[in-house]
């Protein structure tokens, strides 16, 4: 694509942390992850006066600086929401398969990618729309798919005392370009993403700084930067950003006093890593004819959980990655039964920066990246408008921080009145995990840990 051709850029940025209860006075979320731009259920927090002045100068007179909360329609098609949740999971597994050959640790949010591509799908037509629908697994779905997806995402915007997920979304367009009012109305009302006009061609640095500043403000500085210097060019015409803050406490905190160095047999090397330990009752099962063990570790409140897939052998991760699909994964989750478990898992941090454009193209949506063939006429009238890149960044920290108490003093748990020795579950080899919304069954995040150190 030449520098004269306008381009469309999606940026997904994700950070997430899993630990124990944080002090109530902490001002910043423990984690953020790129998430759907959900319909808010309460008026948004007022923007500081300084930022309101900047946005007012950028926005057309007819555009409000902050959109009014879109109404949440009660009783929206439950079957459609369920089907969309499955679609998100199918895309997550598709991305997992395509990225399986990439070496090392990996982290992404299929949920975030689904919503970003859905906003693009809403502005597409013809073969481009059909390709995106196929990638998003929307074929055969009837009804207002985009509104239903936004309503599904809205359920993740209800913070509790132990789990909080707050999303923010924004569409930034070049001030010299005219986008169709119908599309902007849809992104504002359905995806809660109003248009912010910036001067990409005349002040590229200022545009980038403003977007990064927006992300910092929305996430209370948890996300410092979402755009690198090379992410934008003067040819940029539309940029869609999506950020969120996620905070969760373990249902049963890990005690730091029980954490000890244990040898981890990674892909690159074997070395001692800080291994957390907790004896508790957890759901577990076998899969792939005994080639893996599944364990579900819940967060406080029971609405979210981490699903861990541990290969039975130290070199079995490759077989696990390519040996199942969503149907099998869901079957294993459904088959898991509570049992006393002596869990040992490493403390670890992940940081993945991905360009998902080649993956999305290989999944079947190649046309949208070709300025000669992309059909985005529902979004804008200008020809040669195409998707340039799908950037995704994710960070994750799993630790026992905040717990205070004594290590487990016994290795037996009373079950049915009789003491039972807990089954060891030692995560000392490369493994996979998902962070899951238990209520909807949606897989919010996927991760692979090959070297936790």
pLDDT digits (tens, 9 = 90+) for 49-68: 333 222 222 333 333 333 33
Q: Is the pLDDT of residue 73 over 70?
A: no
CA 8 to chain centre: 21
What's the pLDDT at 166? 60
The most confident of 16-20, 177-181, 346-350, by mean pLDDT: 346-350
**Residue 90 above 90 pLDDT?**
yes
Distance linking the first and last C-alpha atoms of the chain:
40
Stretch among 50-64, 160-174, 261-275, 406-420 having the lowest mean pLDDT: 50-64
- CA distance linking residue 359 with residue 336, whole number of Å: 32
Per-residue tokens: 51: 């930022």
Top CATH class, 7-249+350-397: alpha beta
Cα torsion through 396, 401, 406, 409, rounded to 10 = 0
The residue ranking higher by pLDDT, 218 or 190, is: 190
CA–CA dist 35, 165 (Å, integer): 9
**Mean of the pLDDT values across residues 317-333?**
89
- Read off the pLDDT of each residue in 177-185 and give the average, rounded to a whole number: 86
DSSP string over 314-383: TT-HHHHHHS--HHHHHHHHHH-EEEEEEEEEE-EEEEEEEE-HHHHHHTT--GGG-TTT---TTTBS-T
Higher pLDDT, 356 or 14: 356
Say which residue, 392 or 432, is predicted with more confidence: 432
So what's the pLDDT on residue 11?
46
Enter the tokens of residue 125.
């037509």
Please write down the long-range contacts of 176-179, taking CB distance under 8 Å and 24 or more positions apart. Answer: 176/201, 177/6, 177/237, 177/238, 177/380, 177/382, 178/380, 178/381, 178/382, 179/238, 179/379, 179/380
* Mean pLDDT along residues 277-304: 93
Residue 38 contacts residue 157 (beta carbons within 8 Å) = yes
| Assigned CATH for 256-346+405-449 | 2.30.39.10
**Closest residue by Cα to residue 9 from 368, 378, 372:** 368
Whether the predicted pLDDT of 281 surpasses 90: yes
Cα separation of 273 and 62, whole Å? 57
Residues contacting 200, CB < 8 A, separation 6+: 174, 207, 232, 233, 234, 235, 236, 237
pLDDT at 98: 93
Asked if the domains 7-249+350-397 and 256-346+405-449 are classified in one and the same CATH topology, the answer is no
Residue range 18-32: mean pLDDT, rounded = 36
Specify the pTM.
Answer: 0.79
State the average pLDDT for the chain. 77
The better pLDDT of the pair 136, 194 is held by: 136
Q: 158 or 95, which is more confident? A: 95
The CA–CA distances, whole Å, from 208 to 171, 201, 225 equal 13, 12, 9
Kindly list the domain boundaries of the chain, sorted by start residue: 7-249+350-397, 256-346+405-449
Which tokens go with 189?
């009302």
Residue 74 — pLDDT band, cuts 50, 70, 90? very low
pLDDT at 388: 76
Positive/negative CA dihedral, 43, 119, 395, 154: positive
């Amino acid at each position: 694509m030449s520098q004269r051709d306008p381009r469309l850029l999606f940026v997904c940025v994700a950070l997430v942390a899993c630990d124990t209860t944080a002090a109530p006075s902490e001002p910043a979320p423990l984690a953020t992850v790129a998430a759907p731009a959900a319909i808010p259920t309460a008026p948004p927090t007022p923007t500081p006066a300084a930022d309101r002045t900047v946005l007012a100068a950028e926005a057309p007179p007819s555009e409000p600086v902050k959109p009014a909360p879109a109404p949440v329609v009660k009783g929206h098609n439950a079957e459609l929401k369920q089907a969309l949740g499955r679609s998100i999971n199918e895309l997550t597994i598709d991305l997992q398969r395509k990225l399986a050959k990439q070496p090392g640790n990996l982290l992404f949010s299929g949920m975030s990618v689904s919503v970003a591509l859905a906003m693009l799908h809403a502005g597409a037509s013809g073969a481009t729309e059909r390709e995106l629908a196929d990638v998003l697994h929307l074929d055969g779905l009837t009804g207002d798919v985009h509104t239903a997806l936004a309503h599904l995402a809205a359920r993740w915007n209800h913070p509790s005392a132990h789990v909080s997920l707050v999303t923010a979304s924004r569409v930034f367009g070049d001030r010299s370009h005219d986008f169709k009012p119908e599309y902007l109305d849809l992104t504002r009302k359905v995806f809660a993403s109003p248009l912010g006009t910036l001067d990409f061609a005349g002040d590229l640095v200022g545009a980038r700084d403003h977007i990064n500043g927006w992300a910092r403000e929305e996430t209370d500085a948890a996300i410092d930067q979402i755009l690198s210097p090379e992410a934008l060019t003067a040819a940029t015409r539309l940029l869609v950003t999506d950020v969120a803050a996620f905070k969760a406490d373990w249902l049963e905190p890990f005690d730091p006093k029980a954490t000890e160095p244990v040898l981890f047999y990674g892909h690159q090397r074997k070395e001692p890593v800080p291994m957390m330990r907790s004896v508790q009752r957890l759901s577990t099962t076998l899969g792939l004819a005994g080639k893996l063990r599944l364990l579900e570790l819940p967060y406080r409140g029971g609405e979210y959980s981490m699903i861990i897939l541990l290969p039975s052998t130290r070199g079995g991760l490759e077989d696990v990655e390519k040996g199942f699909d969503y149907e099998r994964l869901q079957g294993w989750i459904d088959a898991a039964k509570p049992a006393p478990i002596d869990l040992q898992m490493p403390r670890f941090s992940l940081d993945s920066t991905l360009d998902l454009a080649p993956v999305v193209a290989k999944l079947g949506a190649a046309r949208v990246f070709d300025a000669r063939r992309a059909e985005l006429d529902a979004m804008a009238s200008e020809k040669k408008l195409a998707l340039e890149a799908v950037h995704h960044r994710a960070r994750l920290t799993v630790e026992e921080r905040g717990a205070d108490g004594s290590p487990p003093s016994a290795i037996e748990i009373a079950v049915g009145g009789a003491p039972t020795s807990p089954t060891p579950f030692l995560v000392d080899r490369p493994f996979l995990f998902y962070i899951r919304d238990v209520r909807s069954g949606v897989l919010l995040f996927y991760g692979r840990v090959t070297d936790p150190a």
